[in-house]
Amino acid sequence: NKMAQYTIQQERLCRLFNILGQLSPHSQLTVKELAVEYEVDERTIQRDIEVLERAELGIFSDEENRLKMGRNGYRKIQSWMTA
Protein backbone atom coordinates (compact mmCIF):
# COMPACT_ATOMS: atom_id res chain seq x y z
CA ASN A 1 0.00 0.00 0.00
CA LYS A 2 1.57 3.27 -1.15
CA MET A 3 -0.08 5.32 1.61
CA ALA A 4 1.26 3.04 4.35
CA GLN A 5 4.74 3.19 2.80
CA TYR A 6 4.53 6.99 2.63
CA THR A 7 3.54 7.16 6.29
CA ILE A 8 6.46 4.94 7.31
CA GLN A 9 8.87 7.14 5.33
CA GLN A 10 7.40 10.26 6.94
CA GLU A 11 7.81 8.78 10.42
CA ARG A 12 11.41 7.87 9.70
CA LEU A 13 12.21 11.31 8.34
CA CYS A 14 10.68 12.95 11.41
CA ARG A 15 12.64 10.61 13.69
CA LEU A 16 15.90 11.36 11.82
CA PHE A 17 15.39 15.11 12.17
CA ASN A 18 14.48 14.77 15.83
CA ILE A 19 17.54 12.63 16.56
CA LEU A 20 19.70 15.10 14.67
CA GLY A 21 18.29 17.90 16.81
CA GLN A 22 19.20 16.03 19.98
CA LEU A 23 22.84 15.40 19.07
CA SER A 24 25.65 17.76 20.00
CA PRO A 25 29.32 17.53 21.01
CA HIS A 26 28.08 17.07 24.60
CA SER A 27 25.00 14.87 24.12
CA GLN A 28 24.63 11.84 26.36
CA LEU A 29 22.13 9.76 24.34
CA THR A 30 22.40 6.05 23.73
CA VAL A 31 20.82 3.93 21.02
CA LYS A 32 18.80 2.16 23.71
CA GLU A 33 17.43 5.43 25.12
CA LEU A 34 16.46 6.63 21.66
CA ALA A 35 14.75 3.32 20.89
CA VAL A 36 12.66 3.67 24.04
CA GLU A 37 11.86 7.31 23.30
CA TYR A 38 10.72 6.61 19.73
CA GLU A 39 9.14 3.24 20.53
CA VAL A 40 11.19 1.35 17.95
CA ASP A 41 13.73 -1.44 17.99
CA GLU A 42 17.37 -0.58 18.77
CA ARG A 43 18.32 -1.87 15.31
CA THR A 44 16.00 0.75 13.78
CA ILE A 45 17.86 3.50 15.62
CA GLN A 46 21.19 1.99 14.57
CA ARG A 47 20.05 2.15 10.93
CA ASP A 48 18.96 5.76 11.47
CA ILE A 49 22.38 6.61 12.90
CA GLU A 50 24.05 4.94 9.89
CA VAL A 51 22.03 7.23 7.59
CA LEU A 52 23.08 10.28 9.61
CA GLU A 53 26.72 9.12 9.56
CA ARG A 54 26.61 9.00 5.76
CA ALA A 55 25.66 12.69 5.82
CA GLU A 56 29.22 13.32 7.11
CA LEU A 57 28.15 15.31 10.15
CA GLY A 58 30.77 13.77 12.42
CA ILE A 59 28.36 11.56 14.37
CA PHE A 60 30.14 9.02 16.56
CA SER A 61 29.87 6.99 19.76
CA ASP A 62 32.20 7.71 22.64
CA GLU A 63 33.84 5.08 24.86
CA GLU A 64 30.58 4.74 26.85
CA ASN A 65 28.50 4.26 23.66
CA ARG A 66 26.93 7.70 23.98
CA LEU A 67 26.07 9.30 20.65
CA LYS A 68 27.66 12.63 19.85
CA MET A 69 28.12 14.98 16.94
CA GLY A 70 31.49 16.52 16.26
CA ARG A 71 31.82 20.29 16.49
CA ASN A 72 32.11 20.76 12.72
CA GLY A 73 28.90 18.82 12.10
CA TYR A 74 27.17 20.73 14.88
CA ARG A 75 28.24 24.05 13.34
CA LYS A 76 27.02 22.85 9.94
CA ILE A 77 23.56 22.07 11.39
CA GLN A 78 23.47 25.44 13.16
CA SER A 79 24.30 27.23 9.91
CA TRP A 80 21.39 25.46 8.18
CA MET A 81 19.04 26.69 10.88
CA THR A 82 20.15 30.31 10.64
CA ALA A 83 20.54 30.55 6.84
Cα 34 to Cα 54: distance, rounded to the nearest angstrom: 19
The 10s digit of each residue's pLDDT in 4-55 is 777 889 999 999 999 998 999 999 999 999 999 999 999 999 999 999 999 8
Q: Are 50 and 39 in contact (CB under 8 A)?
A: no
Phi, psi for residue 25 in degrees, rounded to 5: -60, -20
The sign of the CA dihedral 15, 16, 21, 24 is: positive
Contacts of 37 (CB under 8 A, 6+ apart): none
Q: pTM, whole model, 2 decimals?
A: 0.82
